[in-house]
Amino acid sequence: MQTSRVPAAVDAFLELLRAADGLANVRILDGPPTTNLADDWLSVGWQPGGDGAVTLTQAFAGAGARQRDEDFSIHCYAESRAGGTDLGARRRRVFEIVGEVETILRASNDRPEAPTLNGTVLWAHLTAGDLVQVQAEGALAGLDFTLSCRARI
């Protein structure tokens, strides 16, 4: 019996990100980075200063306890880093990266199933974010964001 859609949803999200043309020059990570990274990168299931990869809750979907609704948030982080002091360029770039993520999740005539993470959830969308900017050995802008999902199990 399936106890959660989290593993399938995270895997599907990673697959969609890695296949996106708009993220071709962005390193996509499953979980936290293991080394200091340069340039542009995006992590699924990790945010700086946080230990949780996914937060989830479940409740019965109706009388009879035959199905459950599962709501979960996948914690993510995108970063753009470069030499120099132009924070504006890094800020614009990190929002471009997250904009590509949002595009991946939007339904279109060509991809009506997009918000379902390839059918693993009922819907998924971006719901929160925090911008970080740092000047240290170059300019860095990071955006931690949350992908909120609902599934039926």
Question: Which CATH number belongs to the domain containing residue 23 in this structure?
Answer: 3.30.2000.30
Residue 49 located in a structural domain:
yes
Compute the C-alpha angle 16/22/26, nearest 5°: 80
Q: What is the DSSP string of the chain?
A: ----SHHHHHHHHHHHHHH-GGGTTSEEEESS-SS---EEEEEES--TT---SEEEEEEE-STTS--EEEEEEEEEEEEEEESSS-HHHHHHHHHHHHHHHHHHHS--SS-TTGGGTTTTSSEEEEEEEEEEEEESSSEEEEEEEEEEEEEE-
Residue 73 located in a structural domain:
yes
**pLDDT above 90: residue 110:** no
Residue 127 located in a structural domain:
yes
Residue 1 located in a structural domain:
no
Task: Give the range among 23-27, 108-112, 117-121, 138-142 with minimum mean pLDDT.
Answer: 108-112
Domain holding 32, by residue range, is 6-60+67-152
Q: What is the pLDDT of residue 60?
A: 86
Residue 125 located in a structural domain:
yes
Number of domains in the chain: 1
- The whole-number average pLDDT for the span 111-133 is 93
- The whole-number average pLDDT for the span 61-69 is 78
